[in-house]
Chains A and B, each alone.
Chain A
Amino acid sequence: MNDPHNDNPAAAPLPEVILEQRSRFSLVWLIPLVALAIGAWLAYKTYSEQGPTITITFRTADGLEAGKTKLKYKDVEFGQVSSIKLTEDLSRVIVTAKLIKDTEQYLTEKTRFWVERARVSAGRVSGLGTLFAGAYIAVDPVATGQRTDTFTGLETPPAVTTDQMGSRFTLRAAELGSLDVGSPVYFRAIKVGQVTSYRLSENGQTVEIKIFVNAPYDQLVRTNTYFWNASGFDVTLDANGVKVDTASVVSLMIGGLAFETPINLESRQLAEEGAIFQLHPNRQSVQEGSYIHKSHWLLHFTGSVRGLTIGAPVEYRGIRIGQVIDVKLEFDLNDFTARIPVLIEIEADRFQWIGASPDYDNEQIFKQFQKNLWDQLIAKGLRAQLKTGNLLTGALFIDLDVYPGSPPRTIVWKEPYPELPTVPTSLEEIRNVLTKFLEKLQRLPLEQIGTDLQQSLTALRQTAIEASKLTHQLNTRALPEATARLKQLQTTLETADKALTTAEKTLGTAEKSLAADSPLQREVQRMLKELSAAARSFRLLTDYLERHPEALIQGKTR
């Protein structure tokens, strides 16, 4: 090393440069190495965080944007839409989405996707946040099921997502009414669930409504639970007056269901998930009951069926067992007679079968024993009859009852419906009797009777006139004679009176003489006493003589 503090730099010898051997490797190469490391790490991170890519088809891509729209579950990002395309036939939109890591297990066929937008319905308002933040695709992941990566998006959000606790049930109804997806299900006016979907059954006969009952209320659904449609007003006008039945205002607008588990003779087991129930049209019909297994019968009536409507009850001894399905009018062209066939259905579930094997359910019993059972019943005198159910409206119902004295009939087993024998209506019977009576009345010779009566009356009047004449005659002729006779009679009576007075006097004398204190009476008494004393003495004498006959000679000894 040279001295840097040389006084005279010019004089100093020219410094020698020192050449240093530098290492071949420069540390500057660490920079790209570090960059490479960071890049590699980033690449690895990106790759490892890469989730699965799925495709979802929707009817419309309204509100969706490629690269921006998120997939969310519980408001947590689940993935992002990467591209939006149309299908080749332009009918649907294919949304491709990249999901976050570790979501593969939730991509099953049961997983559902739908676009969450702001929705306002009568029942609820949802997705307000999407008004500002834009629509997103909501996910309802289900971990169980077949794995898949192509999905069909729902057009409307599902009413119930998988993470909600509760049970699903199916209801069968004749019609949907005012129900819709999201319609509430009430139990004692508390909202406990909702309608999740509905569809027409395969044969188009009924509507199948799927409902979801939230836990813990699903425990309230038992095998004998009744469901009924609590939508809107239910106004009933009957003999009891006007009755209005309505649930909450919400259900007035968007419909609703209600259920109740009655305390009755049926079993009260917990209903299984997915159990099928009958949906009654209203609460009233719950009490009437509504049943699944039915058998159909044909009845023929000859009289008027005015007041018999479709749906009129069929009763057996006052218990409803079915209803009228159809009423028609038939004319026989051969003899030009009219008769009215009435089709009824009898609900098998109404019967409680005693003495059957417990393995059979109602339907099996009904099918197996139906023919035999009904034959027996008809043999015992079972007949159908029209009866008046409501005097106010004149509504008729069909009553099945046993009429033991009725002439023997049998069921006509024919297709499509077997025919049950009928008996005429009680009203009809009364009418028949009345008609007969009137006919008899008509046959009476009323005019003859009238003439006779008139003649009789004329004769009667003549008799009366004659009687009056007789009276007059009696007055004019017989009376003076009678007066004379009466005078004579009076004289006679006076004489008799006198004789009677004399007799009275005589009798008075006699009475005096016969009185208790009269001297004659006393004399007679005394005489009688004397006589009895004499008799006693005589008896004593005879007694003594009998014992002592010698006394007659010797005298009385002492």
Chain B
Amino acid sequence: MRCPRCGATLHTRKPNSLARTWALVIAAFIFYIPANILPIMTVTSLGKTQSDTIMSGVAYLLLHGMWPLALLIFFASVVVPLLKLMILIYLLISVQLRSPWRPRDRTRLYRITEAVGRWSMVDIYVVTILVALVHLGNLAAIRAETGAVFFGAVVVITIFAALTFDPRLIWDSLEKNHE
């Protein structure tokens, strides 16, 4: 369907929304595994080299009593991406099953997901800033590891997945005839 005036392709709903979202969610899930298993950062200080994954970093902070920071990182880097993916999967399934259950709340859920998603990048920003700042050779050096790349990929892909999802689909099931 094209706009007769400008020729732009027109859609009543985002095209192919479900399939695209599914694809991106699956991709994000796949990247989520290495993002959490692989170290995101290697800290070298005074000859002592230590690689940390997200969870080991959180554990380290907790062990040293910095639990507010630990909680922040835990939520921003572990819980939020996972929650986002879960919410998207739930929305996708509910749309596909044409569930008429509380469409208003589901839409709100979608809005929150979309808004919160980008904050997961906090972790990546911290890593990049540290890598750029701490370059003192053997005394202290921080390097980004492959885990950070995958984590970044997870965050970006989930943002796109949220974008490709069309919340109007939630309401479509309420109408008897659709499209």
Binding site for B on A (CB under 8 A): 1-2, 4, 9, 15-20, 22, 26, 28-32, 34-36, 38-39, 42, 67-68, 70, 129, 132-134
Residues of chain B with a CB closer than 8 A to A4's CB: 4-7
Nearest chain B CB to A550 CB, angstrom units: 174
Q: Does the CB pair A129–B16 fall under 8 Å?
A: no
Residues of chain A with a CB closer than 8 A to B48's CB: 132-134
Candidates A22, A28, A36; contact of B24 at CB < 8 Å: A28
Q: Does the CB pair A32–B4 fall under 8 Å?
A: no
Q: Does the CB pair A31–B2 fall under 8 Å?
A: no
A19, A20, A30, A35: residue with the most chain B Cβ atoms closer than 10 Å: A35
Q: A31-B23, A36-B30 are in contact. Are A132 and B2 (CB under 8 A)?
A: no
Q: A17-B1, A35-B27 are in contact. Are A28 and B19 (CB under 8 A)?
A: yes
Residues of chain B with a CB closer than 8 A to A31's CB: 23-24, 27, 157
Candidates A15, A26, A70; contact of B19 at CB < 8 Å: A26
In the assembly, what is the distance between CA of A459 and CA of B31, in Å? 148
In the assembly, what is the distance between CA of A17 and CA of B3, in Å? 8
Nearest chain A CB to B143 CB, angstrom units: 15
Q: Does the CB pair B46–A28 fall under 8 Å?
A: no
Q: Does the CB pair A35–B10 fall under 8 Å?
A: no
Q: Does the CB pair A26–B46 fall under 8 Å?
A: no
Q: Does the CB pair B47–A133 fall under 8 Å?
A: yes
Nearest chain B CB to A65 CB, angstrom units: 10
Question: Looking across the interface, which residue of chain A has its beta carbon closest to that of B38?
Answer: A42
Please tell me if B33 contacts chain A, counting CB pairs below 8 Å: yes
Nearest chain A CB to B120 CB, angstrom units: 17
Report the count of interface residues on B (CB-CB < 8 A): 30
Residues of chain B with a CB closer than 8 A to A67's CB: 56
Please tell me if B118 contacts chain A, counting CB pairs below 8 Å: no
Residues of chain A with a CB closer than 8 A to B26's CB: 32, 35
Question: Looking across the interface, which residue of chain B has its beta carbon closest to that of A30?
Answer: B23
Residues of chain B with a CB closer than 8 A to A17's CB: 1-2, 4, 10
Residues of chain A with a CB closer than 8 A to B19's CB: 26, 28-29
Nearest chain B CB to A84 CB, angstrom units: 16
Binding site for A on B (CB under 8 A): 1-2, 4-7, 10, 15-16, 19-20, 23-24, 26-28, 30-31, 33-34, 38, 46-50, 56, 153, 157, 164
What are some 11 contacts across the A-B interface (CB < 8 A)?
A15-B4, A17-B1, A22-B16, A32-B26, A35-B27, A35-B157, A42-B38, A67-B56, A132-B48, A133-B46, A133-B47
Residues of chain B with a CB closer than 8 A to A29's CB: 19, 23
Residues of chain B with a CB closer than 8 A to A132's CB: 46-48
Q: Does the CB pair A18–B2 fall under 8 Å?
A: yes
Q: Does the CB pair B47–A68 fall under 8 Å?
A: no
In the assembly, what is the distance between CA of A20 and CA of B10, in Å? 11
In the assembly, what is the distance between CA of A31 and CA of B19, in Å? 11
Nearest chain B CB to A515 CB, angstrom units: 148
In the assembly, what is the distance between CA of A17 and CA of B4, in Å? 7
Instruction: Pick the 3 closest A-B CB pairs, nearest first.
Output: A15-B4, A35-B27, A132-B46
Q: A19-B1, A31-B23, A32-B26 are in contact. Are A39 and B33 (CB under 8 A)?
A: yes
Question: Looking across the interface, which residue of chain B has its beta carbon closest to that of A34?
Answer: B27
In the assembly, what is the distance between CA of A16 and CA of B108, in Å? 36
Q: Does the CB pair B50–A32 fall under 8 Å?
A: no
Nearest chain B CB to A362 CB, angstrom units: 58
Residues of chain A with a CB closer than 8 A to B24's CB: 28, 31-32
In the assembly, what is the distance between CA of A19 and CA of B10, in Å? 10
In the assembly, what is the distance between CA of A289 and CA of B46, in Å? 55
Q: Does the CB pair A26–B30 fall under 8 Å?
A: no
Q: Does the CB pair B16–A28 fall under 8 Å?
A: yes
Q: Does the CB pair B16–A26 fall under 8 Å?
A: yes
Nearest chain A CB to B3 CB, angstrom units: 9
12 extra interface residue pairs, beta carbon distance < 8 Å, beyond A26-B20, A134-B48? A15-B4, A18-B1, A26-B16, A28-B20, A28-B23, A32-B23, A35-B30, A35-B157, A36-B27, A39-B30, A39-B33, A42-B34
Question: Looking across the interface, which residue of chain A has its beta carbon closest to that of B37?
Answer: A46
In the assembly, what is the distance between CA of A132 and CA of B6, in Å? 68
Question: Looking across the interface, which residue of chain A has its beta carbon closest to that of B10?
Answer: A17
Residues of chain B with a CB closer than 8 A to A15's CB: 4-5
Nearest chain B CB to A81 CB, angstrom units: 13
In the assembly, what is the distance between CA of A67 and CA of B26, in Å? 31
In the assembly, what is the distance between CA of A301 and CA of B50, in Å? 79
Residues of chain A with a CB closer than 8 A to B153's CB: 35
In the assembly, what is the distance between CA of A360 and CA of B110, in Å? 99
Q: Does the CB pair B27–A133 fall under 8 Å?
A: no
Residues of chain B with a CB closer than 8 A to A28's CB: 16, 19-20, 23-24, 164
Nearest chain A CB to B53 CB, angstrom units: 10
Nearest chain B CB to A255 CB, angstrom units: 33
Residues of chain B with a CB closer than 8 A to A129's CB: 47
In the assembly, what is the distance between CA of A68 and CA of B45, in Å? 14
Question: Looking across the interface, which residue of chain A has its beta carbon closest to that of B31?
Answer: A35
Residues of chain A with a CB closer than 8 A to B27's CB: 31-32, 34-36
Question: Looking across the interface, which residue of chain A has its beta carbon closest to that of B24?
Answer: A31
Q: Does the CB pair B34–A2 fall under 8 Å?
A: no
Residues of chain B with a CB closer than 8 A to A2's CB: 4
Nearest chain B CB to A498 CB, angstrom units: 150
B4, B15, B24: residue with the most chain A Cβ atoms closer than 10 Å: B4
Question: Looking across the interface, which residue of chain A has its beta carbon closest to that of B46?
Answer: A132
Q: Does the CB pair A26–B7 fall under 8 Å?
A: no
Residues of chain B with a CB closer than 8 A to A1's CB: 7
Q: Does the CB pair A68–B30 fall under 8 Å?
A: no
In the assembly, what is the distance between CA of A134 and CA of B1, in Å? 67
Residues of chain B with a CB closer than 8 A to A35's CB: 26-28, 30-31, 153, 157
